[in-house]
Amino acid sequence: MTRWSIGELAKASGLTVRTLHHYDEIGLVVASERTPSGHRRYTPDDVRLLYQVRSLRQLGLSLEEVRSALSRSDSLRPLFEAQLASLTAQAQQLEALRSRLTALLDGHTTEFLLSTLEMMAVHESYFTADQLGDLRSRAAAMGPEAVEALKASWLELVRQLRQHMADDVPPSDPRVAEVVRRWDELGARFTGGDPAIQAAARRSWEENKAAIGKQVGWPADDGLVEYVARARAAR
């Protein structure tokens, strides 16, 4: 049996008959022969070509790329190297995604997954890629529990501030000053002291405090920012 029907070839190659039809249509892998009635007969050379195509496809090339790779076989090596680089980048991206997702699943209950994701997305738009890398590596160095602890302390400090504000404690009160000082300290640990990152974080916070508040259950904006500003001014 030196000729193959389309069905046999499909089974052997793990592709579908439709796919082989498609390759034939676009002239990528054409059956060299036909039976008198029009059935495709694939020769060993056709089969070889098909396997080459399948291999290149598995390396992530488009059909057009496969076609040109096969037509000018001298250019294969740079193409492979480019493809290797692209694959590496893809793998790294996937790995980053994977670790973020793992962290999410570890640290959060279901009902917070969405809002956390959303806040991550919102905040990301305020930072450059470099800055985000910084933040992430710092977070990784601290470990997830430390990050969670930091978040919790931060929320607690905000809660205390809101309490003081509700109790009509004047912003100049030393207790308020102390909370603000610890707040800034936490912020510095988060931002690594980088003024650009601090500025970005502040912008993000100010423009999204309503959304953050919604997420953790605060009432709408009620002057917290002004209260803190007055506290700073009084210092």
Which residues contact DNA (rule: CB under 7 A)? 5-8, 10, 16-19, 21-22, 31, 35-40, 57, 62-64
Q: Pick what 195 binds: its own copies, DNA, none; C-beta below 5 to 8 Å, kind-dependent.
A: none
| Of the residues 26, 63, 76, 188, which one makes contact with its own copies according to CB under 8 A | 76
Closer residue to its own copies (CB): 62 or 88: 88
Write out 73-133 in H/E/C secondary structure.
HHHHHHHHHHHHHHHHHHHHHHHHHHHHHHHHHHHCCHHHHHHHHHHHHHHHCCCCHHHHH
Q: Is residue 133 a contact residue for its own copies (CB under 8 A)?
A: no
Asked if residues 184 and 228 have their Cβ atoms less than 8 Å apart, the reply is no
Subset of residues 140 to 159 that bind its own copies, contact rule: CB under 8 A: none
- 132 is in the binding site of which of DNA, its own copies, none (Cβ under 5 to 8 A by kind)? none
Task: Please enumerate in sequence order all residues whose Cβ is within 8 A of that of 214, keeping only pairs 6 or more positions apart, or say none.
Answer: none
Closest CA to 10 of 44, 38, 43, 50: 50
Size of the site for its own copies (CB under 8 A): 46
Q: Which is nearer to DNA, 72 or 111 (CB)?
A: 72
Q: Which does 63 bind (CB under 5 to 8 A by kind): its own copies, DNA, none?
A: DNA
Q: Which is nearer to its own copies, 64 or 118 (CB)?
A: 118
Helices 144-166 and 224-233: crossing angle in degrees, nearest 10, is 90
- Three-class HEC string of 216-233: HCCCCCCCHHHHHHHHHH
With CA atoms as reference, report the closest residue to 58 among 20, 15, 97, 28: 15
List all residues 6 or more positions away from 215 whose beta carbon is below 8 Å from its beta carbon.
115, 119
Identified binder of its own copies from the candidate list 17, 28, 113, 142, rule CB under 8 A: 113
Q: Which residues bind its own copies (CB under 8 A)?
A: 12-14, 44, 48, 51-52, 54-56, 58-60, 70, 73-74, 76-77, 80-81, 83-84, 87-88, 90-91, 94-95, 97-98, 101-102, 104-105, 110-111, 113-114, 117-118, 120-122, 125, 210-211
